[in-house]
Amino acid sequence: MNALTPFDRPNSYIGRSVPRPNAKRLLAGRGRYVTDIVLPRMLHVAYVRSPYAHARIVSIDAQAAREMPGVRLVATGEDLAKLCTPWVGTMEHFKGMKSPPQLPLPIDKVVWSGQAVVAIVADTRALAEDAAEVVSIEFDELPAVIDIDAAREPGAALISPGLGSNLCFHGKIDTGGIDDVFAGAAYVVEEEFHFGRHTAVTLEPRAIIADYDASERQLTVHHATQTPYQFQDIYARHYGIPESRVRVIAPDIGGSFGMKLHMYHEDMAVVGLSMMLGRPVKYVADRIESFVSDIHARDHRVRARMAADADGNILAMDVEDVTGIGAFSAYPRTSVVEGNQVYRLMGAPYTFRNYRADLQVVFQNKVQMSQYRAVGHPIACTVTERLVDMIADKTAQDVFDIRSQNAIPDDGYPCTSPTGYQFEALSHHACLARLREMMDYDGLRAEQAELRIRGIHRGIGIATFVEITNPGPAFYGVGGARISSQDGAVIKITPTGDVHCLISVTELGQGTETIIGQIVAEHLGIDRDRIKVITGDTETTPYGGATYACRGAGIGGETALQAAKKLKANVLAVAAAILQDEPDRLDIHSGWIVDAATAQPRIELSEIARIAYFRSDTLPPGTQAQLSVTHHYAPQGYPFAFTNGVQACHLELDVETGLVKILKLWVVEDCGRVINPLLVDEQIRGGVVQGLGAAFFEECVYGDNGQLTNGSLADYLVPMAVEMPDIEIGHVETPTLDTQLGAKGVGEAGTAAASAAALNAINDAMKPFGSTVAQVPMTPARILKALGHI
């Protein structure tokens, strides 16, 4: 850890590993999560859920529940529909996309097993659960639409008959002449890939407390979410409450990863329940409910081909992706974004120009599918990187060599991918070279050969990736979604010369508040510990996009930087007036106004603040000190800031049992300017482990009737400490020139390629047996099947 030394330039925090000031509270058990919050007269809700994946609701008898001890309200879909307008999860830029309207609780039919049908509000959660047990609902079971192929067949049962089919969206990309390219290629490889559904499993489940005060028409929602402004907008619009009277507070949040930015029916219902009761109502999804109501992710079947010439130069890709998203498209971000990123990110690291892809997004009677960390990336990366390895096999090339040969040259930017993505500057070759050296690739290959003779089967897998970060309005705004791509900051100097920074990006443990503090401290010129960063409250922080799609550092950070510069100019103007000097001859170091040329201290910032706030009479006439600034920043220039990197996985496969020991993982990553290496590396590690979870363990398993068969933390396997490897990380820094800060995002890089590297490593380990696998998670059963043991 490189602690600050007196020899450093004052306040040079950007690029430094500094620990997170706000973590101390969490370490002392003093975090305040929504699950911890208790409001006066607060009630608790439990839901009666559908046991069927698809059924008509014939009748609901809740009389016995109403009479149970402690019950304050029993509400159905009809009750809530009187208060809440329906929502539709579509965006205009996905042409032709369809989705049915949704309500907090269903009125006439249920569309997935586990869907909440009746809400019971009682004095305690236990009493609400007691009452939920005595609600009787008569269902008329309908055929469940589960399989993505059967769902698209003519005559298939329709989940939303009004839409005419079970197809949510059909997209195509075609650069033309693909069939000819494949026909003329020296090598063609193809594979059918399966990506299991998995889910976020944040350690703190979803939690929300809605508190409606009818006397003021004020709704206050404590909501464990990463996007409070988005929910302020949604609650205001759908419940008809003026936006100024809706306050959403996101306190400490026990993990999110994209899962806590979608509209959930139970959460929406809680707002209505509080309005009906005029009391705070709390809902905490228990873990069993989480599995059947949190968004799931992935669930893709991809058939893909890759063509190469005789020298292993990749010529083209041809891709067909079918993805199942549940019974409707999620709101407000839709469930098409993942598929869209899958088919646009395919082949992104490479130079080939010929590309054809077909994307079908299909409704089915399962839990809704939508954005979760690294949206689409792992799928595009796995498909591409496996096919690249297959070409390497054909041409007898080394896996590093084929990538070096095909990756876009580091001096080949700016350029545009065949799918239309604009790359400002990436560094695949620098990353590959760095990785090769870091992992001692040649040494590992030699060891692998030697161990194979002794019956020990190790595998090495490489995966190059491109990540989408810093999205501009092209991501959601153009589609009509009221999701901001800009951020806002207010920075103010207190009378003692401390600084408050209120900013719209939110803290989820990734360290937003820390890096914002670093940036403001450096650009204002004060010590980091004099800054308090405040996030997560729509009533106090300026409007902004908050946290999604790796935008906190790049967009939020740039907002803070520009705001800090603006404030610094204001401070120097006042200082110049007091000191009878020119502002541009002054600077700020460690809370002192100094002579810019000599760094000689002139006056302390606290003294400026004291004068400005308490003795403005002593300021020169006409001077109005502006010691607070508000500043907004919206990304311009490139629609996204793409980042890149490469991962390697080293593992040992027990070829008799199908069990895998992951030995080590390496990541070389280029997220532009690194603001805090300590935090960046931990983002990557956490992301890698989520990717390895998907590669080996995590899968929401459904039976034919649409029942989730492993919906508990005992049955759904998450990655744990013993099975996870140490992860070594290297950096290449290619700052974006779109911003002064130069930072891009890093939150999804780890997840983007870990499963691809792992899949390539398993296939490498199985090579002596001629076996292959193209499905994640790679369970022992699937590996044993591939090896022909079962």
- Least CB distance from residue 59 to another protein, whole Å? 24
DSSP category for residue 177: -
Tell me the backbone φ, ψ of residue 518, rounded to 5 degrees. Answer: -60, -45
- Least CB distance from residue 468 to another protein, whole Å? 21
Interaction between residue 453 and another protein (CB under 8 A): no
Interacting residue with another protein among 125, 217, 303, 394 (CB under 8 A): 125
User: Binders of another protein among 501-530, rule CB under 8 A?
Assistant: 508-511
Q: Could you check whether the bond before residue 161 is cis, i.e. omega within 30 degrees of 0?
A: no
- Least CB distance from residue 299 to ligand FES, whole Å? 24
Residues 6+ apart with CB under 8 A from 656: 789
Amino acid (1-letter code) at residue 478:
V
By three-state DSSP, how is residue 593 classified?
strand
8 pairs with which residues across the strands?
none
Interaction between residue 661 and another protein (CB under 8 A): no
Interaction between residue 27 and ligand FES (CB under 6 A): no
- Least CB distance from residue 746 to another protein, whole Å? 13
Interaction between residue 690 and another protein (CB under 8 A): yes
Partner whose binding site includes residue 633, from another protein, ligand FES, none (CB under 5 to 8 Å by kind): none
d(CA 50, CA 376): 30
- Least CB distance from residue 22 to another protein, whole Å? 9
Interaction between residue 353 and another protein (CB under 8 A): no
Partner whose binding site includes residue 685, from another protein, ligand FES, none (CB under 5 to 8 Å by kind): another protein
Ramachandran assignment for 294, one of left (phi > 0), alpha (psi -120 to 50 degrees), beta (any other): beta
d(CA 258, CA 530): 31
Residues 6+ apart with CB under 8 A from 106: 57, 77, 115, 117
Interaction between residue 255 and ligand FES (CB under 6 A): yes
d(CA 150, CA 85): 33
Interaction between residue 545 and ligand FES (CB under 6 A): no
Interaction between residue 790 and another protein (CB under 8 A): yes
Interaction between residue 663 and another protein (CB under 8 A): no
Taking the least distance from each CB to another protein, the nearer of 227 and 360 is: 227
Interaction between residue 735 and ligand FES (CB under 6 A): no
- Least CB distance from residue 560 to another protein, whole Å? 20
Q: What is the DSSP string of 105-167?
A: S-SSEE-STT-EEEEEEESSHHHHHHHHTT-EEEEEE------TTGGGSTTPPPSSGGGSSSE
197 pairs with which residues across the strands?
298
Tell me the backbone φ, ψ of residue 629, rounded to 5 degrees. Answer: -135, 155
- Least CB distance from residue 23 to ligand FES, whole Å? 9
Interaction between residue 70 and ligand FES (CB under 6 A): no
Beta strands, E only, 442-521: 457-469, 487-493, 499-503
Taking the least distance from each CB to ligand FES, the nearer of 223 and 279 is: 223
User: From the CB of residue 5, how many other CB atoms can be counted at a distance below 10 Å?
Assistant: 6
Give the residue from 229, 319, 193 showing the smallest Cα distance to 505. Answer: 229
Partner whose binding site includes residue 404, from ligand FES, another protein, none (CB under 5 to 8 Å by kind): none
Contact 17, 676 (CB under 8 A): yes
Residue with tokens 């396997």: 717
Helix or strand (DSSP H, E) at 456: none
d(CA 569, CA 571): 5
d(CA 554, CA 558): 6
Interacting residue with another protein among 4, 83, 163, 288 (CB under 8 A): 288
The pair of three-digit structure tokens given for residue 236, joined into one six-digit string:
């205001």
Amino acid (1-letter code) at residue 296:
H
Partner whose binding site includes residue 679, from ligand FES, another protein, none (CB under 5 to 8 Å by kind): another protein
The region of 118-126, 333-341, 443-451, 574-582 touching another protein under the rule CB under 8 A is 118-126
Interaction between residue 714 and ligand FES (CB under 6 A): no
Interacting residue with another protein among 2, 242, 726, 769 (CB under 8 A): 726
Contact 324, 151 (CB under 8 A): yes
By three-state DSSP, how is residue 602 classified?
strand
Q: What does the per-residue mask of binding to ligand FES show for 499-518, with x meaning CB under 6 A? A: ----------x---------
Interaction between residue 41 and another protein (CB under 8 A): no
Taking the least distance from each CB to ligand FES, the nearer of 51 and 255 is: 255
Interaction between residue 118 and another protein (CB under 8 A): no
- Least CB distance from residue 685 to ligand FES, whole Å? 11
User: Binders of another protein among 196-225, rule CB under 8 A?
Assistant: 200-205
Partner whose binding site includes residue 780, from ligand FES, another protein, none (CB under 5 to 8 Å by kind): another protein
Residues that bind ligand FES (CB under 6 A): 203, 255, 509
